Amino acid sequence: MTDRPKLVVSDLDGTLLRTDGTVSDRTRRALARVEEAGSTVIFATGRPTRWMHAVAEQSCHKGIAICSNGAIVYDLHTEEILERHPLAREAGIAVIEAIRAAIPGVSFGVEHGDQFAHEAAYVLHFPIDDKRVDTYVATVDRMWEKPAYKLLVRHVDYDPDTLLAKARDVAGELAELTHSSRSGLLEVSARGVSKASTLALWCSERGIAQEEVVAFGDMPNDLPLLAWAGTAYAVANAHPEVRAAVSRTCPSNNEDGVAQTLEQLFA
């Protein structure tokens, strides 16, 4: 990697954002320094676009976001979708059938970007406070009436690592399964779609090499991204699997670890 990377890519929740979901003043200044140096900042998140309005406001509507673990490229300037990599109905249904048969008690939901459809048994852990967002209860068939960007799998009795291992055993060949949760919640994308795959395509189109990219993350859904980037950092509060996979660490999200590292890289 060159002394100053051409591209900085960071996960949001648990990495760039503090636990209360805010972007600190120090982090805003560090991101501005990156852009002033002529480099690019991209946010790569598991969040759907319906959860990006606050991020767009806090970032002063600057930059690009890779949302839903690579399924969507989103322009924070205009809050519009630039690219889509949806999960096909046939693949999604196959994943649901395989997991439901193997793991009793699971429930499912589907992210459409601006809407979220979920089975009646699916427990919503986060209140939806954006009036532009619509959620609705639906059968599995109805969930696929609109393009699906992420399938969610919930089980109230399993931790996410155990649930992920069980689900991959029966559906790992059908789609990309991962998690970014502290509870029993999995995220499923189309086969071959991840934060890394979408970032790699974005960089290829702009002539940016892997060794010119520095990445930050904290959870298993960040692992492909961290493996792809020329330089990767795990925040101190990262999942044990992430800390084991990445040789570089930085302070935690609540200590503005990403900002501290960028201050050094762009001194």
Indicate the residue among 189, 205, 239 that finishes a domain. Answer: 189
Residue matched to tokens 């046939």: 90
Pair of tokens at residue 130? 């954006």
- pLDDT per residue as tens digits for the range 100-109: 999 999 999 9
Residue 30 has pLDDT above 90, yes or no: yes
Q: What's residue 126's pLDDT? A: 61
pLDDT at 133: 55
Whether residues 52 and 105 share a domain: the answer is no
Q: ∠ at Cα 46 (195, 188), nearest 5°? A: 80
Residue 73: give the domain boundaries: 7-85+193-265
Residues contacting 134, CB < 8 A, separation 6+: 114, 115, 116
User: Does some domain include residue 1?
Assistant: no
Do 149 and 227 have their domain in common? no
Mean pLDDT confidence for 35-43: 95
pTM for this prediction: 0.94
CA neighbours closer than 13 Å in the CB half-sphere of residue 29:
9
Q: Is residue 2 part of a domain?
A: no
In the predicted structure, residue 18 carries a pLDDT above the cut 60: yes
Q: Are residues 102 and 184 in the same domain?
A: yes
State the Rg of the chain over Cα: 18
User: What CATH code is carried by the domain that includes residue 174?
Assistant: 3.30.1240.10
The reported pLDDT for the residue numbered 168 is: 98
In this structure, the answer to whether residues 80 and 125 fall within a common structural domain is: no
Q: Are residues 61 and 131 in the same domain?
A: no
pLDDT at 186 over 90: yes
* Residues 185 and 197 reside in one and the same domain: no
Residue 114: Cβ-neighbour burial (10 angstroms; 0-12, 13-18, 19+) = middle
Q: How confident is the model at residue 124 (pLDDT cuts 50, 70, 90)?
A: confident
One domain, residues 18 and 48: yes
Residues 208 and 248 in one domain: yes
Q: 196-245 pLDDT, tens per residue?
A: 999 999 999 999 999 999 999 999 999 999 999 999 999 999 999 999 99
41 in a domain, yes or no?
Answer: yes
Tell whether 63 and 185 lie within a shared domain: no
In Å, how far are 49, 154, 204 from 133, measured between CA atoms?
A: 10, 21, 33
Q: Do residues 68 and 189 touch, judged by C-beta distance below 8 A? A: yes
Q: Are 139 and 151 in contact (CB under 8 A)?
A: no
59 and 13 in one domain?
Answer: yes
pLDDT, the chain, mean = 94
Count structural domains, the chain: 2
Mean pLDDT of 150-176: 98
Q: Check whether residue 108 and residue 168 sit in a common domain.
A: yes
Structural domain contains residue 200: yes
The b-or-e profile of 160-182 (16+ CB within 10 A means b, else e) is: beebbebbbebbeebbbbbbbbe
Distance CA 261, CA 204 (A): 25
92, 131 contact by CB (below 8 A): no
Instruction: Output the pLDDT for position 132.
Output: 43
Q: What is the CATH number of the domain that holds 204?
A: 3.40.50.1000
